[in-house]
Amino acid sequence: MTEVEWGRLKSAEIGALAARNAVAVVPVGSIEQHGPHLPTQVDTLLAGEIGLRAARLAAATTPVVVTPTVWSGLAEHHMSLGGTLTLDLATFCAVLRCVCRSLARHGFRRILLLNGHGGNMAALTAFANEIGPELQLPVATATYWTLAKDAFAAILERQTTVRHACEAETSMLLALAPDLVDMAKAADAVGPTEVELAAVAGDAAHRYRSFKVRTRHGAIGDPRAATAEKGEKLLDAAADAVAKLIANERFWALPA
Ligand SMILES: [Zn+2]
C-alpha cells in the first residue's frame, strides 16, 4: 500500500509527493469533554483516522499525503464541563496559517483542512477564505459528517447527523477504541437536557451558549443506540466521501 502518512515519510519522499501535485490533507480536531462515557480525544482521533482512510482510498488515483492531526481547536463552549483544552480564535488561525505556509513552502499546491469538530466549522471557513488568496492556492475545508451527510443519515437510527458524544461518535469509538468507551454510562448521556436555542428562535440566529446550559452530562444525542458495526460503516462512509473530494480534479481546478 502507498504510504500516505506524513510522519512516516522521509523528507525526500514528501518532496516527491509535492512534485506530483499531491493533495495535502490536514486533519483538525479538538480535545474536549465527551460526556460521561467517551474520552476527550474523540474529535482528534476521528479526524485523523478518517483522513488516513480517505487518503488510502484516494491514493489509487490521486497523490495525497496526510499531516499529523492538529489536535487543538475551538472548544470554549466545553470548558465549563471539564477535560477540555481550547485555543482562542487568533491562535487557532495562527497555528493553521503556519501549517499551510509550511506546506506551500515545500511545494504543495492543494490543501484540504479536514475538520472533525463542530466548534471549528465557522472559523475554518473564514480562515480558508483568507489563506487561499494569501498563498495563491486552493485551501479547502470540509467537516467529515457534512460531506457524508446522506450516508450518515441512512446508517444512524436515532439521529440524522453527528451530534456530540452521540450515537455516531460513540459507534465510531466502539469500532476504533472500545477500551476507551464506558457503555454502562451511556444510559445517563441522553439529551439535550436543557432548552435549545433553536427551540426558542429557530436555527437561523446564532449566539454563544456553553454546552453546560444545553446538557447537564455533556452529551447531545443518544449513545445507547451505538454499536461497533455501525461505527465501522460510518468511518467507511466518511472516508469514502472525503476520498471523493480529494480525487475531485474539477473541484481543485476551479478558478479562484
Ligand atoms: Zn466530538
Which structural domains are found in the chain, ordered by start? 6-250 (3.40.50.10310)
pLDDT (0 to 100) of residue 109: 98
Distance 228 CA to ligand 1 centre (A): 17
pLDDT (0 to 100) of residue 20: 98
Distance 128 CA to ligand 1 centre (A): 22
Rounded Cα distance, 91 and 74, in Å: 10
pLDDT (0 to 100) of residue 1: 77
Q: Return per-residue pLDDT of the chain as tens, 256 residues.
A: 799 999 999 999 999 999 999 999 999 999 999 999 999 999 999 999 999 999 999 999 999 999 999 999 999 999 999 999 999 999 999 999 999 999 999 999 999 999 999 999 999 999 999 999 999 999 999 999 999 999 999 999 999 999 999 999 999 999 999 999 999 999 999 999 999 999 999 989 999 999 999 999 999 999 999 999 999 999 999 999 999 999 999 999 999 9
Q: Tell me if 130 sits within 8 A of 122, measured CB to CB.
A: no
CA distances to 37, 46, 79, 182, 186 from 218, in Å = 10, 19, 11, 14, 11
User: pTM for the complete prediction?
Assistant: 0.98
Q: Tell me if 40 sits within 8 A of 117, measured CB to CB.
A: no
pLDDT (0 to 100) of residue 91: 98
pLDDT (0 to 100) of residue 255: 95
Distance 47 CA to ligand 1 centre (A): 10
Q: Tell me if 137 sits within 8 A of 109, measured CB to CB.
A: yes
pLDDT (0 to 100) of residue 29: 98
pLDDT (0 to 100) of residue 80: 98
Distance 58 CA to ligand 1 centre (A): 25
pLDDT (0 to 100) of residue 156: 98
Distance 42 CA to ligand 1 centre (A): 6
Distance 39 CA to ligand 1 centre (A): 10
Distance 21 CA to ligand 1 centre (A): 32
Distance 119 CA to ligand 1 centre (A): 9
Q: What angle is formed at CA 15 by the lines to CA 104 and CA 126, rounded to 5 degrees? A: 25
